[in-house]
Amino acid sequence: MQDILATLLFVAPDWVLSVTRERRPNAFWAEYVLWPAIQILVVLFIVLTLVAYLVYLERKVSAFMQARLGPMRVGPWGLLQPLADGIKLLLKEDIIPIKADRAVFIIAPIVSVVAALVVLAVVPWGAAWATIANVNIGLLFILAVSSVGVLGLVLAGWGSNSKYSLLGALRSSAQMVSYEIGMGLSIIGALMFARTLSMSGIIDGQRLDGIWYVFFQPLGFLVYAVSALGETNRAPFDLPEAESELVAGYHTEYSGFRWALFFMAEYSAMIVTSAVAVTVFLGGWMFPGITGTSLFGFGPIANPTVHTFASIVVFAAKIMALIYAYMWFRWTWPRYRYDQLMELGWKWMIPAGLANIVLTGIWYVLALPKAQGGVFGFMREVNSRLVPTGRGIIYFIVTAFVVTIPIVWGMLVTINRRSRDFNLHEQRQLQSQLRRERLEKMLQEQPRPAETAGD
C-alpha cells in the first residue's frame, strides 16, 4: 500500500488533467506529454539562469576572498552582469579555424551541454511532483550520462586542430574518466543502506533510517567530494583549463556562444554533482522539522503543496552551500600538477572507495538481525526493509569514524610508500647526508693532488 501511495505522488496534478480533460487511469497526454513538458521547461529555465548567475556568484565570491569588489557597475551590485555577458557572447563573431574539422568542431559543445543538461531530468528537486523522471536507476543514469560529457571534450580538442586544445582535451578527458571511477565507488557504501538506485528512494531511505548517510559514510563523502572536484575539472584539479598552463585547454579555439555552451556544461556539471552529493549523503530535500522528518514534535508541513515548495527551497539551499564550497576551494588552494592529480585519483581515491565498500559491507553484515545470520542484531525489519535501531545508528557511526577511517588511511599509506612525493622528508634527509659524505670525501682527497703538484 505504501509503495502505491509513494508512486502516486509523482503523477501529474489535477489541474493538468482538467486541461487535457482526461481521466486519471488512462491519461496519456497529461501524464506523459503536457506535465513533463511543463516540468522540463521550468527546470531548464531555472537551471540555465542559475548557471549564468553562478558565474556572477563566482566572480563576487572570488573578489571578496581577494579583498576586492567584483562586478559592481552593470546593475545594482553588478546583478545584471550575466545579462550583459550573455548579450556580448551572442553578438560575438563566430570564429571557426580554417583547418578545423567543421562538423566535429560544431558538434562538440552541443554534445557537452546536452550531456550535462539531460541529467537534470532525474535529479530530485523536491518532494512529490518535483522530479521530472523518477526512474528506478536514477543514480546509474546520472553516472552514465556524465560519462558522455567526456566525448564532447575529446571532440572539441580534436576538432580544433590546435596543439593546446588537443593536449588539454587529452588531459581533461583522462582526468574525468579516472575520477568517475572514484565517484561511482564512493556512493556504493551509502547505497548499501538505501538498497535502491532510485534518487527519491535514496532520500526515502534516509528518512526511514532517520539519519543522513554522511554520518554513516564520512569516508564515502570525502572520496565523493574529491572525485567530484576532479570530475568537473574544478580546482584544485583544474590544470587542463588553467589559463597559465594550456591557454584554455580544450576550449581555446572557441569564441562567442560556443564557448558559453562549454561554460554552461561545466557549471551544470557542478550543479548535478552537488545534487548527487546532497541526495546520497546530505538527505536530499529533507530538513528536520520542515520536510521529511519531525524535530522535537515539530512535524513536517501538512499542506502538500507548501511541503513540496519548501522541499525545493531546502534542496536549493543545500546545493548552493556545496557550490559555495566548490568556489571556496577554487580560490583558496593551489592546483595539483597533472601527475599528482592522476596519482591521487588512481592510487588514493579508488583504493579508498574499494576499501570503504568492503568495510561497510563487513559492518553491515555483522549488524544484520540475528534471524538473518547477523552477529549483533542492530537492525530490524520494517516493511520488508532493514532499518538500523538506535544502537545500530551509533554502531554504524562509530565504526565509520573510528575504525574504517584509520584502517583505510593505513592501507593507503602502505600502498603509496614508494611514491615520489610521499617520502619527501626522508629523501631530503638522505640527500643532505649524501652531500655531507661527499664533502668529507673531497676534504680527505684534497691533500693528495697538492702533494703531486709539489713534486
**Which CB atom, from 73 or from 391, has the smaller least distance to other proteins?**
73
And the C-alpha cell for 4? 502505491
Q: Which stretch binds other proteins (CB under 8 A): 82-90, 129-137, 155-163, 426-434?
A: 426-434
Q: Which of 195, 394, 409, 424 binds other proteins (CB under 8 A)?
A: 409
- Shortest Å distance, C-beta 65 to other proteins: 4
Q: Could you give the dihedral angle defined by the CA atoms of residues 297, 300, 303 and 307, in that order, rounded to the nearest 10 degrees?
A: 160
Tell me which DSSP letter residue 298 carries.
B
Q: Report if residue 61 touches other proteins, rule: CB under 8 A.
A: yes
- Shortest Å distance, C-beta 406 to other proteins: 9
Ordered DSSP codes for 301-370: -SSHHHHHHHHHHHHHHHHHHHHHHHHHHHTTSPPPPHHHHHHIIIIIIHHHHHHHHHHHHHHHHHTS-G
- Shortest Å distance, C-beta 83 to other proteins: 17
Residue 433, amino acid: Q
Q: Which of 305, 433, 435, 441 binds other proteins (CB under 8 A)?
A: 433
Q: Report if residue 67 touches other proteins, rule: CB under 8 A.
A: yes
Q: Which stretch binds other proteins (CB under 8 A): 200-208, 373-381, 385-393, 422-430?
A: 422-430
Q: Report if residue 429 touches other proteins, rule: CB under 8 A.
A: yes
With CB under 8 A as the rule, give the number of residues binding other proteins. Answer: 20
As a whole number of angstroms, the distance between CA 259 and CA 64 comes to: 26
And the C-alpha cell for 126? 523536491
Q: Map the footprint of other proteins across residues 315-354, applying CB under 8 A.
A: 328-329, 331-333
Instruction: Count the neighbouring beta carbons within 10 Å of the beta carbon of residue 90.
Output: 10
As a whole number of angstroms, the distance between CA 380 and CA 296 comes to: 24
Q: Which stretch binds other proteins (CB under 8 A): 40-48, 64-72, 92-100, 443-451?
A: 64-72
Q: Report if residue 435 touches other proteins, rule: CB under 8 A.
A: no
- Shortest Å distance, C-beta 188 to other proteins: 23
Q: Report if residue 214 touches other proteins, rule: CB under 8 A.
A: no
Quick check: 291 and 311 in contact, CB under 8 A? yes
Residues 6+ apart with CB under 8 A from 244: none
Q: Report if residue 430 touches other proteins, rule: CB under 8 A.
A: yes
Q: Is 99 helix (H, G, I), strand (E, B) or coil?
A: coil
Q: Which stretch binds other proteins (CB under 8 A): 3-11, 63-71, 167-175, 441-449?
A: 63-71
Q: Map the footprint of other proteins across residues 127-166, applying CB under 8 A.
A: none
**Which CB atom, from 426 or from 445, has the smaller least distance to other proteins?**
426
As a whole number of angstroms, the distance between CA 329 and CA 229 comes to: 9
**Which CB atom, from 45 or from 64, has the smaller least distance to other proteins?**
64
Helix (H) or strand (E) holding 381: strand 379-381
Q: Which stretch binds other proteins (CB under 8 A): 32-40, 61-69, 105-113, 357-365?
A: 61-69
Instruction: Count the neighbouring beta carbons within 10 Å of the beta carbon of residue 438.
Output: 10
- Which residues sit at the interface with other proteins, rule CB under 8 A? 61, 63-69, 72, 328-329, 331-333, 409, 425-426, 429-430, 433
